[in-house]
Structure 1
Amino acid sequence: MPQVSLRVSLLASVVLVSPLVAEEDITELAPILVEASDGVATEGTGSYSTERATVGGRQPVDIRDIPQSITVVTDERLEDANANSLEEAAFVLPNLTTALGDVYTGSLYSRGHEVFTYNIDGAPRPFLSIYGTAPDLVFFDRVELLSGPSGVYQGTGEPVGTLNLVRKRPTSTPQGRASVATGSFDALRGEFDYSAPLNAEATVRGRIIAYADTKNSYVDFVESDREGLSGTLDVDLTDQTLLSFGFIAETQDALRFSGLPTFTDGTLLDVPRETFIGADWNRFESDSIEGFTELEHRFDNGSVLKASARRYSRDVVIRSVLPNSAVDPLSGDFDLLTFARDFEEDTDFVDVNWSSPISAFGTTGEVTLGADYRSTDQTMRQNFDFSAGTQNINTFDPTAIAEPVITFPGIGPGFRLNTLTETQEYGIYAQGRIDLGVRTKLSVGTRYVLYDSRVRDTGRDLIRSDIEEQRFVSNIGLAYALNDRLTAYGGYSDIFQPQIEQRADGSQLDPVEGRQFEVGLKGSFNGGSLTTQTAVFYIEDRNRAVEDPANPGAFLDSGDATTKGFEALLQGFVGQNWMVSGGYTYVDTDRDDDPTSPHTLSLWGRYTVPEGRLQGADLGIGLRYASSFSLGTIKAPSYVVIDAMARYPITETLSAQLSVENLLDGTYYTRVNQTTRGNFYGTPRRLTLGITMRF
């Protein structure tokens, strides 16, 4: 596939101070024209809240009409949090948790389950932290999270949550943004974003976004260089027909860290946070590119016909020295292995759908009908080397380990395989929302899926697994408007998700199956500038992929499991010049592979100085709390992290922002995994100073 090599050296940039209009005790946003074809863009609104999202349908939908929990992290909230990745965005939400997989990226968990899929504009992609994270968030307007199953629209359906990244779109008036930031651990980042019409009539519009990001880490030897570029063209073929096409390309070159081992009894190591277990030649190389085309036509009666096609390709090379045993508490000895994997993936996705208002039998509503196709080819080559042997935690030297010569295919015991996985999925879906009167809306959806996946061991010329599935996946729910501000809802959803993960013998895991029940209450106040959500959920599922502790890179089927919990969220303006974002989540699961805390709390507040010498400055502070958590015999204590930011408008177009993560420099473990590896300290105090210019 094409190699991506970019280097952006940029000058810098701003933050849009939220323009407010205060009337008595109600704070409202000043009118701002935001141009985007989906009608729900958050860029330029200056708000933490929004009342609409696209994750609940193929067209923008009122969040209160969806009988499931939906949370949106807006462009303003991402900027205030200095969040450039999904993992960093997850720190903002109490119902989404990051469990580190290296210092920079990690697994995401929602409702006690790992999230293995994310979407870009509704098109699904696999999300396995071993291959690196999702695209940089500089390309996106917002992050949408639909909690719970979503099998009607999102492929076969992530059982516990659908993450949808919504692209920034070209605008009909020129606008630009450039920024540069530097900070702790030799971090340096530059961004450039420019959008403009390309003809006098503004019927052809373009947008180009680029970034370069380099940084070291609080862990010795660990470093990362990432670069990316995207381009988009929107063409109005007619007043009602829009053609959009473009690409996103990224590359990463990193020296990764697989976490610390524990002592043999599961006790966490009390070593300095900078301790690195690996070799100074560890490497992770990733190149990815996605091309997309969308065609949308709006009819006079309000219906919309939309067709989209995407192709995504990536290449990954991994060479890592990993701990392969726990640390003996008496001698300090532990074993190492060298893990090597080459991975290639090509995914095609096509979707055609029609959405329309309906009126029949004295009632109104909306209906969506569609069909999609997804094809994925994955080539993996994997082998191990044990020549690094036994080491000692007290005298370990990462520079003293020689790099072995590793060849493919791997021969011998363990997960040493060359495999080709070919997957195809055909789906037909329908979703309807009907106004039953008495302020009640019924939501019903179903999907018929044909799924076929074959894994072939190319080194031994064997068929490891051949899975064929046909299934209906459905949901049903009611939303009842208690008044103009509050809506109560209840819903049921099926869970069915074939899995691409493999067992140690190369065979593919069985599909995840189950169901979810959810009831909740959604609120919208102050003209939509403040939104609230509460939800109670109960999930039953089986066959979920869990890491195989005896075979790095392989997975096992989990047994039957039940998960229940409660979520409460608050986003938006709570008073004049005050915005908040946060909430609380409780998860109780009998799954034995959930490394997250049962209780999590996230609170953030931002105050905009209304007058005086600091007029227009933004001051923000917040906390993240996680109760004690465990996995097997490994237990970690609870922790609280304080974050803060300050932003000052130097001129109308230029601003400076200082962000501080872990203000009090607390020492804590943020993830536990296995006695052999995967246990991570949280990030020490980290400062980032950025300058932003808008033009």
Structure 2
Amino acid sequence: MKHLPLLASLLGCLSVNAWGQAGLELAPTTIGAEEPDAEPGLSLEQSSGMASRLGLSLRETPASVAVANRQDIERRGAQTFQDAANTLPGVNASAPPGFGGFISYRGFTSSQITQMFNGINVATGLARPVDAWIYDRVELVGGPSSLINGAGSVGGSLNYVTKLAERRDQAAEGLLSYGSYDTTQSAFGLNHRLSPAGAETQHYARLDVSHNTSNGYIDRQQRDAWSLAFSLLSDLTPDLSHTLALEYQDEHEDSPYWGTPVRNPKAGEMKIDRHNRFNNYNVADGLYEQRTVWLRSIIDYRISPDTSLRNTLYHLDSQRDYRNLETYQYNADNSRVDRSTAYLVRHQGTQSGNQFELRHEDRLLGLDTTWSTGFEYKVNSSTNSPANVPARNSVDPDNFQPGYFYGLPGTRQGWVKDKTNQVTTRALFIENRLALSDELSLLSGLRYDAIDLDVTNHRLVTASNPRHLKRSWEPVTGRLGLTWQFLPSANVYVQYSTAAEQPSGPQNFEVSTGKQWEVGSKFDYLDGRGTATLAAYRIERKDFAVTDPLDPANSLPVGQQTSKGIELASSLRITPKLLAETNFAWVDAEYGEFNEKVASGAVVSRKGNTPTNVPQRVANLWLTYDLAPSWQTGVDARYVASVYADNANTLTLPAYTLYGSFLRYQVDSHTSITGRVRNLTNETYGKFAHVSPAYYLGTPRTFELAVQTRF
């Protein structure tokens, strides 16, 4: 933690400044420890800032929206924010090296799913999962959502929200855990009022720190990670507040695991050598490192009882380093593993921007209405410095020396810049909710983006690779939704939404587009003991780049892809002691127009095929039972259907079901002890299929003991 002294000094300086955080409505100070936990469940009365800027609850929003709040994260034992995302309907997230945070949702993957941090859309590579301790909740909205999040978001959006200072005199919490493979976590959180009681200006500070270590279930894979979040909240006047928030993440992983090779013949269901499934074929000095620093300044001002504004100014700085031997394949008779692709790369990225929004409640033609309007400006700059050599060699899987990176032929030390991509975005947006009657409401919105791309080539300038390349796009996206609250406890809705996606590569194409029709319902049942949401949708994405069938070296903007599906989520208090929570998602995704260049050089149509790593069904189930006032137990299950590993749909990764259980003892009003078993049946399963082809194996059966306390 070479940066900790600097951070400590910075935090010391910040603590004496009159800065802070606020919400749009300033809440009274809470004296003492934490407030009682709310009843677990879908909590449709809570709001989500990523689904709408109008302050609507999940129930009022005519869209499929789900939230895993802090209580859900702790009850389900989510270790990272990606684990929390996997508890939401239809999400299948994994973290294979080189892919950052991979998400499959509603038939789409990668850049078609926007991943945001605190409502800010950043580069996908930053979504590599880190410890969930510093996060307050994870939010999900289904389908095209460019109105809120900007370009992208064809399949949906995830938002990871960090803990911030609260208006409380004093609160403290801590967590210590130890588990299989020497996995440890040490975490604490402090919230404290800095100003004397009764002072005209009130200041509150919060600090959360988490340290994680693990030897990993794959040989020679060791991980050490720190996460830190600090925020300072100031209520400067009864109507004006400010937040200064700092986040720091540092992760180091030795000999990262890059997958398990698939045995020959490679056809149908992919098979691995289970005897050698924990082998790590990376070099001994393989490396992954990431350091990320966030700084945000948030102003909330209540201009009048009906009008308020929020402004968020931010800066992000990130650096990621890779040094690995990344590709492994069995030879023809499966007696040896051929290793290749020595890759040394540094990713450096910064993003600075400002988000401004104004909310106003009024009446229009005698009807209640709420408006939200604003603008966004951001500059995202990323520089890659890659070095890639074949470095082919062969090893005996039963007895091999991993070797060292710089001992491989063709490798060299040092970073050589390749390209810098700078994307400047200016956006204007407006959103409105109109109450047509006591039961019927109309939600509408439009967004205009002006996107400028400037690519700087740091290597040899040629006719096909100039020093500078500039492109511009101006997409307009929107949403229209109608909600009918036909009962106080039940509604139905219909929604139409659109998205735009910036093209990749040097071609001067227009943006690809997406559109969705969705119908759904949100309701309580059995006298309020149960709550459920149901959604059915159809999404169409078109005009993305595919290979030209007449010229494999060229691309055409004619790609098409569709998905249709159903999502269901429910929470039911079966008895006063037994709680059941579940969600299920089914999707049918296929390419309408898609061409691929194969190894022979020919171009093959994949029309009608399913995209890779898209499961048709994903389901979760949790049962929690209160054995006694101080004892609680529970079981959980997660099912993920098989996925295709290639666009030809000839290779499949098998379906899997994972089971877990926990037992919790409440020592006193402050402290609990939890024992947890994950993957009870020790299932061998693949979370992600590499195109090598290779498995990315999930975690085997593990045990964990955790002590958590709050004051």
Q: TM-score, normalised by structure 1?
A: 0.86
Decide whether the 8 Å contact of 2:475 with 2:511 is kept in 1.
Answer: no
Paired residue secondary structure (2:84): helix
Listed as ranges, the matches of 1:290-439 within 5 Å are 290-323=294-327, 325=329, 327-329=331-333, 331-399=335-403, 403-404=407-408, 405-407=411-413, 418-437=418-437, 439=439
Matches of 2:211 and 2:415 in 1, distance apart? 35
Paired residue secondary structure (1:596): coil
Match of 1:268 among 245, 268, 271: 271
Decide whether the 8 Å contact of 2:359 with 2:373 is kept in 1.
Answer: yes
Structure 1 residues 224, 491: CA separation in 2 closer, same or farther (over 3 Å shift)? same
Correspondence for 1:253: 252
Paired residue secondary structure (1:78): helix
After superposition, the CA RMSD in angstroms is 3.1
More displaced, 479-488 or 199-208? 199-208
Decide whether the 8 Å contact of 1:421 with 1:454 is kept in 2.
Answer: yes
Match of 1:118 among 102, 115, 118: 115
Residue identity matched to 1:634: L
Paired residue secondary structure (1:590): strand
Q: TM-score, normalised by structure 2?
A: 0.84
Query: Percent same amino acid at aligned positions?
Result: 20
Listed as ranges, the matches of 1:493-504 within 5 Å are 493-498=497-502, 503=505
Matches of 1:71 and 1:438 in 2, distance apart? 25
After superposition, the C-alpha distances for 1:253-277 in whole angstroms (9 at most, x for unaligned) are 0121111232352432223331222
Decide whether the 8 Å contact of 2:342 with 2:405 is kept in 1.
Answer: no
Residue identity matched to 1:166: V
After superposition, the C-alpha distances for 1:174-204 in whole angstroms (9 at most, x for unaligned) are 1110111000011011111010111123711
Structure 1 residues 327, 426: CA separation in 2 closer, same or farther (over 3 Å shift)? farther
Match of 1:605 among 623, 627, 636: 623
Residue identity matched to 1:661: R
Decide whether the 8 Å contact of 1:487 with 1:522 is kept in 2.
Answer: yes
Residue identity matched to 1:683: T
Paired residue secondary structure (2:652): strand
Paired residue secondary structure (1:65): coil
Structure 1 residue 649, shift from structure 2 partner: 0.7
Matches of 2:526 and 2:238 in 1, distance apart? 34
Matches of 2:117 and 2:295 in 1, distance apart? 12
Matches of 2:102 and 2:42 in 1, distance apart? 26
Structure 1 residues 517, 639: CA separation in 2 closer, same or farther (over 3 Å shift)? same
Decide whether the 8 Å contact of 1:658 with 1:689 is kept in 2.
Answer: yes
Residue identity matched to 2:640: A
More displaced, 108-117 or 571-580? 571-580
Match of 2:671 among 654, 669, 677: 654
Decide whether the 8 Å contact of 1:80 with 1:645 is kept in 2.
Answer: no
Structure 1: tracts of 5 or more residues without a match? 9-34, 411-416, 548-554
Structure 1 residues 454, 407: CA separation in 2 closer, same or farther (over 3 Å shift)? farther
Structure 1 residues 684, 204: CA separation in 2 closer, same or farther (over 3 Å shift)? same
Residue identity matched to 1:181: S
Structure 1 residue 626, shift from structure 2 partner: 1.9
Decide whether the 8 Å contact of 2:90 with 2:617 is kept in 1.
Answer: no
Matches of 2:581 and 2:540 in 1, distance apart? 30
After superposition, the C-alpha distances for 1:25-70 in whole angstroms (9 at most, x for unaligned) are xxxxxxxxxx973689999435333222222223532112212100
Matches of 1:104 and 1:220 in 2, distance apart? 21
Structure 1 residue 511, shift from structure 2 partner: 3.8
Structure 1 residues 589, 495: CA separation in 2 closer, same or farther (over 3 Å shift)? same
Residue identity matched to 2:378: R
Residue identity matched to 1:206: A
Structure 1 residues 258, 366: CA separation in 2 closer, same or farther (over 3 Å shift)? same
More displaced, 458-467 or 198-207? 458-467
Structure 2: tracts of 5 or more residues without a match? 9-20, 28-33, 548-554, 592-609
Matches of 2:386 and 2:295 in 1, distance apart? 28
Matches of 2:581 and 2:544 in 1, distance apart? 32
More displaced, 113-122 or 446-455? 113-122
Matches of 1:190 and 1:596 in 2, distance apart? 35
Matches of 2:546 and 2:36 in 1, distance apart? 38
Matches of 1:181 and 1:104 in 2, distance apart? 28
Correspondence for 2:293: 289
Correspondence for 2:146: 151
Matches of 2:459 and 2:118 in 1, distance apart? 37
More displaced, 143-152 or 298-307? 298-307
Structure 1 residues 121, 402: CA separation in 2 closer, same or farther (over 3 Å shift)? closer
Structure 1 residues 309, 663: CA separation in 2 closer, same or farther (over 3 Å shift)? same
Residue identity matched to 2:272: L
Equivalent residues, number: 645
Decide whether the 8 Å contact of 2:320 with 2:348 is kept in 1.
Answer: yes
Paired residue secondary structure (2:94): strand
Match of 2:691 among 670, 674, 677: 674
After superposition, the C-alpha distances for 1:85-124 in whole angstroms (9 at most, x for unaligned) are 2321133224110234149964111112125432222111
1:618 partnered with 2:629: no
Structure 1 residue 159, shift from structure 2 partner: 1.2
Decide whether the 8 Å contact of 2:100 with 2:124 is kept in 1.
Answer: no
Matches of 2:643 and 2:558 in 1, distance apart? 20
Structure 1 residues 542, 464: CA separation in 2 closer, same or farther (over 3 Å shift)? farther
Match of 1:98 among 93, 106, 114: 93
1:173 partnered with 2:169: yes
After superposition, the C-alpha distances for 1:204-224 in whole angstroms (9 at most, x for unaligned) are 111011010001211111121
More displaced, 85-94 or 218-227? 85-94
Matches of 1:373 and 1:280 in 2, distance apart? 44
Matches of 2:529 and 2:243 in 1, distance apart? 31
Decide whether the 8 Å contact of 2:645 with 2:693 is kept in 1.
Answer: no
Decide whether the 8 Å contact of 1:429 with 1:447 is kept in 2.
Answer: yes
Matches of 1:68 and 1:391 in 2, distance apart? 53
